[in-house]
């Protein structure tokens, strides 16, 4: 196995020491793990993907679990009434799978100070508030599997864009 020498600035020495502690005394393992994540993120970025972090589980705040993946958003769809909202987001992961993120609010309030046609068209002063109830994340392999999991309107939008590459290189 080849040896590589890494020179560490004095100010960075505590960081390397802590990384070695967290890796069970194996600094090489810590550096390799960090480099794998860095290379994966940069290759994805160059391909047009981004790092996405979404909340998952019940409730809000710091205790709510977050999950992260590399992907590109294909579509978003919201259904709401006076009290609740459902927000569907569909992403394509870097591996080609489809990621479905669903947020459901327990309470949703929409108010407007206008009446008549101005209210119907959304003109005038409006306010709304919502808190997040439950959020889930599901991964499916194919468009066909995706179709059964999301609203038909969102599926049509996603299916139309799913095969397109996230970045198109133009020879101009």
Each residue of 41-88: pLDDT tens digit? Answer: 888 888 888 989 998 888 766 667 889 898 999 999 998 877 778 899
Q: What's the token pair of residue 74?
A: 């294909």
| Alpha helices per DSSP H over the chain | 13-22, 27-46, 116-121, 143-147, 152-161
Give backbone dihedrals phi and psi of 22, rounded to 5 degrees, phi first.
-65, -30
Q: Could you tell me the pTM of the whole model?
A: 0.67
């Amino acid at each position: 196995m080849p040896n590589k020498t890494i020179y560490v600035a004095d100010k960075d020495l505590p960081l390397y020491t802590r990384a070695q502690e967290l890796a069970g005394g194996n600094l090489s393992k810590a550096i390799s793990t960090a480099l794998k994540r860095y290379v994966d993120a940069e290759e994805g970025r160059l391909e047009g993907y981004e790092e996405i972090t979404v909340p998952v589980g019940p409730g809000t705040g710091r205790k709510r679990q977050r999950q992260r993946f590399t992907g590109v958003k294909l579509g978003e769809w919201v259904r709401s009434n006076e009290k609740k909202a459902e927000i569907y987001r569909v992403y394509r992961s870097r591996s080609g799978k489809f990621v479905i993120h669903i947020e459901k609010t327990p309470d949703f309030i929409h108010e407007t100070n206008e009446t008549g046609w101005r209210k119907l068209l959304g003109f005038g002063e409006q306010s709304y508030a919502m808190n997040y109830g439950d959020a889930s994340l599901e991964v499916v392999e194919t468009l066909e599997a995706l179709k059964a999991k999301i609203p038909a309107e969102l599926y049509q939008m996603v299916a139309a864009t799913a095969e397109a590459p996230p970045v198109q290189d133009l020879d101009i």
